[in-house]
Amino acid sequence: MVQLYNLHPFGSQRVVPCKQEPAHFCCGQDVLFVASTAASCRVDVFTLREQGRCEALGSFATLGPVLRMAHSSAGDYLVTIEEKSKATFLRAYMNWRCMSAGSSRVCVRMVGHKMEESYSEALKEQMSVVEMPLSDPPLCISCCPVNGDLLVGCKNKLVIFCLKYRVINQNLTVLDFERSLILHIDNLIPVEVAFCARHIAITTELDVLILKLELVQQSADRTEQCAQGVSAPEKAMDGGVKDESPPTHPLQLELDEFIICQKPVELLGEQSKLCEIPVILESTELPMEDTKHFQVQYLLFRHFAPDQSPFGFCEETKLHSVQLLPVYQTGIPATAYEETENKRKLLSLFCFFSLPHVGYLYSLGKLVELISTYQYSEKSEQAVLTPQFLHVITSQNLQCFTVRCSAAAARSEDPYIDTTVKACPPVTLDVCTLRMQLFIGPRAICHFKNHIILLTKADTEDITERRKPTRRMLSRKTDHIKSRTNSESEPGWNLYIINTVSTIQLYREMVEYSRTYENVKTESCIHLLSEAHLLIRAAIMDPHFLKSDEKEDLLRAFRESCAFLGDCYSRFDTKDYHLALPYYRMSGLSMTEVLKRLVSEGDEIQTYERGFIFYLTHSLNEDSNEELSKESGNKVLQILYLADPVQLPDILCSPSMRNVCPLTAVKYLQKVEKMMPSVVLTLTKAFFALKMGDLAMYEHEMHSYKETTLACGFIGQPRLLQQRKEGIVTPTEFAVHLKETQPGLLVAATVALHENSKIELEEADTFFKMLCNSSENTIPQLLVDFWEALLVVSSQEKILQELLLRVTSQYVRRISKKQLPETKPLKTTEDLINSCSHFGLIVPWIASIMSVGCSSDKDYHEDISRLQSLLCSQSINVASALPVLEPLTEAGSVGLAVRVLCNSRLGSHEAAIDQLLTRCPGAAVIYAQHELKGDTQALWWNKLLPELCKRTRLTGNDCPVLISSLKETLSIVAMELELRDFLSLLPEDGTAAFFLPHLLHCSQRKLLT
């Protein structure tokens, strides 16, 4: 694998017109701040224009020489550590652009100082310097790029100042700070700190500690947490006094002739708590209702051992360039920095730090993990991380490395990455060096957008060598020599603005470079194209992407890079061949366009790698709206027959292969059948026989297996019956033919598809309606046959109740509207009762009710008997079915039978008896004999007997049915009750001759007993 590519990420370079040697510099928004090493105590401000043009914007004075400086884009302020009279001061410069515009007014105030409104009006046109006093000298500083908060590192502690927007009046808002939190860390002298989104990275010479401040609710938990934080250092101190054991940092301990060195340590996540560096939080905010409370979460601790050699220890082994890099969610534009906290959503966070010869990049997400390690060719001085590159300066070079931030962030943002839908080069992809640009004496570096600011300073011998006069040099005058009047007496230094080339330009170069490896099919081609893809992806994830002039070009390049990667994984024999599919999908290329890229014209036989076959089979197995031409389809058939003949039946059923020649398809299927016969293959041949109009061949194939075997065969390839077009299931020619010739097989096959999760219930409804050319509100009989067949085999209670309501509704609709099914049902009621437990035996009293019905009901006997059979079973939920049964409530004997059945199932036997005595008294006793048993037997004498006596008294001898029912009821009651109880039920005005036989029968039963 080639690790160094001689590409050109750096474009033009210009010299910043500084009059004095810079000591420190930093970038912010569109400007460059430069603090000089001379005693002038000033900060020069330069504006950065297009193409790296740099113009002086102004300058302002500082209290003393600047030791550290940083700019915060949120709030647009500059913070410095300055020295005066051997004391250090922390100052923040607000509204500094007024000084650059020519105003000389300066307001110096203490942090948190309350400003009177009349005095503050002047702040609009003057620079404010905010003094932030500290009990210990500040050593290092860092500004949070998300919200503008400030972190200050001091000996044994870190101090956080929150950026505040204080509203003076409706026309004036003033920036200020509030010291909110102190982190006490014993035995720690920070060399560098980084601060972003409540994440803190601290480095000493050989240690790295990364912490996160977690929000907690104000409660006793916080007090307990703080107490735990205090106890840790106390234990450490006790241990030191008791045993004279080594202090926390044994590297500083010298015992006679030995130096005790701690081994290198790396602790990630929860394990980093074991670093034994206690952190105690001290809140310094004024307590208010919205005061935030935090607890410390340890994310990473790493300790490095100094480099060793036969001559002793290398004192140059020190950490440098710690940095936290945020990556924001794609699609959320960057707006005014005052709105940054609300507008931009942090997606991922990365931490970089470096030793002289190796750099480390960690991802700080749900898991803390090392994603890249950078080996430098020589000792590094400083490094700066960007979303696209890592820039490192050494004694002689400016080096540009690739990074994996966009690969890690993309996986955090899109859950479909690393599936067959989307792909992205892996985070573990080897990093590479894009360029090693020669410079003499690089000293410091910073980065802003597409600009790199580089300070170089040559050693004395280099300057002497460089300044040896030649005639040619003496005869020329250079602009940058003119810009410095005392250049002959000063050491040779320069402050450069180096422009990185546009993303599109570098992408094009990388693609062109990759072609040198294309013919030999090495992994280097994939590697370089992956780098190009990540370069574009990082640009798209930039918050300013939506407003970028290159937006369309970047999106076009992204799709192109996906296509190139798809080509590589299709053409090369690689273990990651399956990535051809998601990359081609992301490219937006159609299957026809992919075939043109990979398949040569003509009949010659090519060798195709696994990636291309994987792409073809998966693409054709999807429900795509793209139809290949006849020629393309035949070519695909030839390719897959040679590569994977088992897939041929599935491929031929793809909607994309609709235009393939049927005769060619059958010939290939016959070849495959000789090697691997199957039911699916037979059905596929029958399908294409229909397309050719060869009914003899169709009949031959369909008689090769039993009907049940054929029905199961459709499970292997559902697209023989139904295909999806724009998400809608549509029947095939095969399904249409089966509807006319073998509807039972069609229904059985569809049931098998449903039970094997190949088709949903609603999709099956649409399928049968389209098959029968029915309207949306019309239910064809074939669909009812499907529902009834599904009731036989389905075991899912939710689906069963849905089906029971559907068939009930259909029976009721046809009975109430006196409609007959358009086709003969596949099963009779008797068939359903015998095969399905959800259709029960019709109870005898139903026949008694129906015997007095009208003759027209006989025309709908099948639907009536099916409905009654359903209600006689214990499966249907009668309460849910009542609204469906409503149209039949007044439908003669059918309606009466339905109402009585429902009341019986619901346990309302008294209402059922009233309905029967009113409408069909002859069935009342038969109903009672069948239904009134056990707990409901008392209704014989408590309900039925009194009602019959009452109704018989009213009608007299005019209703012989009531009299016969009464006699039969008396006979049954006399067998069940004691004589005294039976006598008490008889009416006082009843005819003795009528009741006497039943009394005698009851008394004789008692004597016999």
Residues 330-353 have pLDDT tens digits of 754 443 333 444 457 889 999 999
The tokens for 886 are 């409503």
- The lowest-confidence range among 126-130, 418-422, 599-603, 733-737 is 599-603
The pLDDT score that the predictor gives to residue 475 is 34
Rounded to whole angstroms, how far apart are CA atoms 197 and 213? 9
CB atoms within 10 A of CB 429: 18
Residue 449 three-state SS = coil
Residue in 790, 822, 828 with CA at minimum distance from that of residue 807: 790
Q: What is the mean pLDDT of residues 392-406?
A: 93
Categorise residue 360: left if φ over 0, alpha if ψ from -120 to 50, beta otherwise: beta
Residue 381 reports pLDDT greater than 80: yes
Q: In this predicted structure, what is the pLDDT of residue 241?
A: 31
The β-bridge relationship of strands 42-48 and 397-402 is: unpaired
653-706 pLDDT per residue, tens: 999 999 999 999 999 999 999 999 999 999 999 999 999 999 999 999 999 999
What's the pTM value of the predicted model, to 2 decimals? 0.80
Task: Give the pLDDT confidence of 637-668 residue by residue, as tens digits.
Answer: 999 999 989 999 999 999 999 999 999 999 99
Percent of the chain, pLDDT > 70? 83
Better pLDDT: 346 or 975? 346
**743, 826 Cβ separation under 8 angstroms:** yes
Q: Work out the burial of residue 309: count CB atoms within 10 Å of its CB; fewer than 13 is exposed, 13-18 middle, 19 or more buried.
A: exposed
Position 473 pLDDT exceeds 80:
no
Give me the DSSP letters along 349-411: EEEEEE-SSEEEEEEESSSEEEEEEEE-SS-EEEEEE-SSEEEEEESSEEEEEE--HHHHHHH
Length of the chain measured in residues: 1009
User: Rounded to an integer, what distance in angstroms lies between the CA atom of residue 69 and that of residue 415?
Assistant: 40
Cα–Cα dist 376/394, whole Å: 9
What gap in Å lies between CA 987 and CA 544, rounded to an integer? 98
The gap between the terminal CA atoms of the chain, to the nearest Å, is: 106
DSSP 717: -
**Which pLDDT score, from 0 to 100, does residue 921 have?**
81
Angle among Cα 434, 439, 442 to the nearest 5 degrees reads: 100
Beta strand 22-28 pairing with 10-15: unpaired
**Poorest-pLDDT segment among 421-435, 449-463, 732-746:** 449-463
Q: What are phi and psi of 571, to 5 degrees?
A: -90, -30
**Confidence at residue 17, expressed as pLDDT on a 0 to 100 scale:** 87
Q: Of residues 906 and 1, which shows the higher confidence score?
A: 906
Per mean pLDDT, which of 259-263, 275-279, 356-360 is the most reliable?
356-360
At 12-25, the pLDDT tens digits run 888 988 888 899 99
Q: Which of 68-82, 88-102, 212-226, 870-884 has the highest mean pLDDT?
A: 68-82
Q: Which one, of 788, 801, 795, 796, lies nearest residue 830 by Cα?
A: 788
Assigned token pair, 749: 């096959």
Residue 260's contacts (CB-CB under 8 Å, 6 or more residues apart) are: 246, 250, 251, 253
Q: Are 210 and 299 in contact (CB under 8 A)?
A: yes
Mention every residue, 6+ apart, whose C-beta is less than 8 A from residue 799: 761, 790
Structure tokens at 622: 């999807």
What is the per-residue pLDDT across 769-785, written as a single tens digit (0 to 9) for each? Answer: 999 988 877 899 999 99
Nearest residue to 619 (alpha-carbon basis) of 654, 644, 576: 654
| DSSP β-ladder status, 77-84 and 66-72 | antiparallel
**Spatial CA neighbour of 66 closest among 75, 48, 78:** 78
User: Token digits for 200?
Assistant: 């803190």
Using one digit for the tens of pLDDT, what is the confidence trace for 172-218?
788 889 999 999 998 889 999 999 999 999 999 999 999 999 988 76
- How large is the average pLDDT for residues 468-483? 37
Cβ(136)–Cβ(130) below 8 Å: no
Dump pLDDT digits (tens) for 266-304: 999 889 888 889 999 998 877 766 677 889 999 999 999
Q: Where are the beta strands (DSSP E) in 928-978?
A: none
Query: What's the pLDDT tens digit per position in 580-600?
Result: 999 999 999 999 999 999 988
pLDDT grade, residue 89 (50/70/90)?
very high
pLDDT value at position 992? 60
Instruction: Give the pLDDT of residue 855.
Output: 54
Q: What are the φ/ψ torsions at residue 351 (nearest 5 degrees)?
A: -125, 130
194/821: higher pLDDT: 194
Q: Mean pLDDT, the chain, as a whole number?
A: 83
Q: Please compute Rg for the chain using Cα positions.
A: 44
| Residue linked to tokens 């940092």 | 249
Dist. CA 211–CA 297, nearest whole Å: 6
